[in-house]
Amino acid sequence: MGLDMSEPKKYRYLPEEFPARNEVVGVDTATLVNMLLSAFADEVLAWYQYYVSAYAVRGNISTELEDVFKKIAEDELNDHAKKLADRLQDFDVDPPDFRDLWQLSKCKQTELPEDPHDVDGFIIAGILAERCALTSYREIFKYVFGKDPVTEEIIEDIISDEAEHETIFRNLLSKEGLKRLKELEKKD
């Protein structure tokens, strides 16, 4: 008998009460935990998006792009999601059940192009995902700045990586891809 995937587990991984943390002053722990859970979900979904992109993209630089997507996917899961999971453990919070990831995610998953030869489309999807992550992490950073040095340092490290990922993707765009990105930016 398989798992019932129809219903999320509804946060049964949260403790009844969060432990006091001496390094955290002036922060609502429940709010912080929710922000970290959302960021964790975003990282796992970003890993999935990049992993799928690595295998779905076709075209003139698809081999090189496959390597880039796999490397960034590895960063999202094995570095960022791990750091967030470790920090959540400091509050006695387990990583969420995979059925809850979509519900917890702020960024969800950027829509990938239907055409596997739309190389720029895959790259733009990566840029949009990184920008969403940066926005989310800036919010967390502002919330914990000067109040939770441990989380602040973790988030600062992740922000640096996400900015680097956006730059990597942007540098891979063709001239036409840059034009498409600028058109999307005008709409926002």
* Neighbour-count burial of 38, counting CB atoms closer than 10 A to its CB (0-12 exposed, 13-18 middle, 19+ buried): buried
Confidence of residue 188 (pLDDT cuts 50, 70, 90): confident
Q: Are 123 and 172 in contact (CB under 8 A)?
A: yes
CA-CA distance, 19 to 130, in Å (whole number)? 32
Which amino acid belongs to residue 66? Answer: E
Q: What is the pLDDT of residues 46-86, one digit of tens each?
A: 999 999 999 999 988 889 999 999 999 999 999 999 999 99
Domains and CATH numbers, the chain: 29-187 (1.20.1260.10)
| Mean of all residue pLDDT scores within the chain | 92
Token pair for 43: 């990282």
Indicate whether 1 pLDDT > 60. no
Average pLDDT of the residues in 107-119: 91
- Any residues with CB less than 8 A from the CB of 19 and at least 6 apart, and which? 91, 92
More confidently predicted of 150 and 98? 150
**CA distances for 179 relative to 24, 71, 112, 129, angstroms:** 45, 26, 18, 18
Q: Are 52 and 125 in contact (CB under 8 A)?
A: no
CA-CA distance, 188 to 185, in Å (whole number)? 5
Average pLDDT of the residues in 8-32: 80
Confidence of residue 8 (pLDDT cuts 50, 70, 90): low
Q: Which of 130, 134, 126, 102 is closest to 53 using CA atoms?
A: 126
